[in-house]
Amino acid sequence: MNDQVYLSFDALHHLVSAALSGGGLSARHADAVARVIVKAERDQCRSHGLYRIAGVLKTLQGGVAEAEAVPEISHSDDKPIIKVNARGGFSPLAFECGAPLLAEKAGRFGIAAMAINDCVHFSALWPEVEQLAEAGVAALAMCPSNAYVAPAGGIRKLLGTNPLAFAWPCTGGLPYVFDFATSVAARGEVELHRLDNTPLPQGWAIDAEGRPTTDPAAALDGALLTFGAHKGSAVATMIELLAGVLIGDLLSIESSALDNGRLLAPRHGELLIAFAPDAFGAASPAAHTQKLLAEFTAQGARLPSQRRYAARAQSLSRGIGISRENLAKLQQMSSGLMPTELH
């Protein structure tokens, strides 16, 4: 399309980073947040792409995120636990600061964990677990969010949309990666139904009185439901316990109380666990993995990251497409003009 321009990863990263710096983020945070946004655009995951820029800067201007926060890492050399205190900054820089040490500890101990505390959470989790898999370790990541979700059998908000992500390294190929919300749908999808004035599918939500509803406005006043009924509810609760209570950080209800209805990016923690196949006695993990995953293809089942990887291959061959309108906005923002919505 004539309206699109195609940029390399680095060129778009430079533009987005400059726009975030123009909006007040420190250079290191702008660099890290921009990397996540451009990875999402590259993989055509628009829900975590350019359109998030306005939200990042709104959260910054709302005084929720620290623009200059320098993450602080603490760990003991003889222990496989890393704590990264994000000191109120956005999560991507905290992750990037701790990730190499997490991979190193997993390699040395067989299993290792990293808690990110006191961050303003921004980003899907797949770029994080994928980066760890590229460093040769399997990784699991989870975090609370704001309380938008009712537990199974419940009648009001308690749990977050609590994402769970996992990556498994595949020698010589792209890792096996999944990343999903433990709610049946993302809050953003309910918002889209409200804007489009279309009813929700059955089973997505309850209203403020705890009754099933297909009305998106009533759902936003009420609560989303978890995926897979009581099983998804159990997983979401586990995430509150491990990535909230265990790491000494906020539950989703506590993040929401702090947010106080402003719907800015939530402030809470995150837990990552990394595993080194060597330490557990994996025998020919590459061939063994292939034996499992090849069977998905053989029976026509899509692997969770297949769509993203196809989009990525296209982006790498022709560039990442963005509209001329978004390009102009990014250029204006890098000069310090007020952020505008990018679509």
Site for a copy of itself in 142-181 (CB under 8 A): 150-156, 158, 164, 166, 168, 176, 178, 180
C-beta separation of 326 from 342 below 8 A: yes
Residue 189 falls in the annotated catalytic set: yes
Burial call 297-324: b when 16+ CB within 10 Å, e when fewer: eeeeeeeebeebeebbeebeeebbbbee
Query: C-alpha 135: how far from its chain's center?
Result: 19
Q: CA–CA separation, 320 vs 109, rounded Å?
A: 39
The residue among 5 and 234 lying less far from a copy of itself, judged by its C-beta, is 234
Which residues, at least 6 apart from 174, have a Cβ–Cβ distance to it below 8 Å? Answer: 305, 309
List the catalytic residue out of 128, 130, 189, 270: 189
The residue among 148 and 168 lying less far from a copy of itself, judged by its C-beta, is 168
Amino acid at 298: A
* Residue keyed to tokens 């049946």: 184
Q: What residues numbered 184-213 form the site for a copy of itself, per CB under 8 A? A: 210
Per-residue binding string, a copy of itself, 223-262, x by CB under 8 A, is ----xxxxxxxxx-xx-xxx-xxxxx--x-x---------
Nearest distance in Å: CB 343, a copy of itself: 27
Q: Taking CB under 8 A as the rule, does residue 49 contact a copy of itself? A: no
Q: What residues numbered 270-329 form the site for a copy of itself, per CB under 8 A? A: 271, 273, 275, 277, 279-283, 285, 288-289, 291-292, 295-296, 299-302, 304
Q: Taking CB under 8 A as the rule, does residue 98 contact a copy of itself? A: no
Q: How far is CA 204 from CA 16, 148, 158, 197, in A?
A: 34, 12, 15, 16
Residue 183 falls in the annotated catalytic set: no
Q: Taking CB under 8 A as the rule, does residue 73 contact a copy of itself? A: no
The residue among 138 and 333 lying less far from a copy of itself, judged by its C-beta, is 138
* Residue keyed to tokens 């769970």: 164
| Residues catalogued as catalytic | 47-48, 189
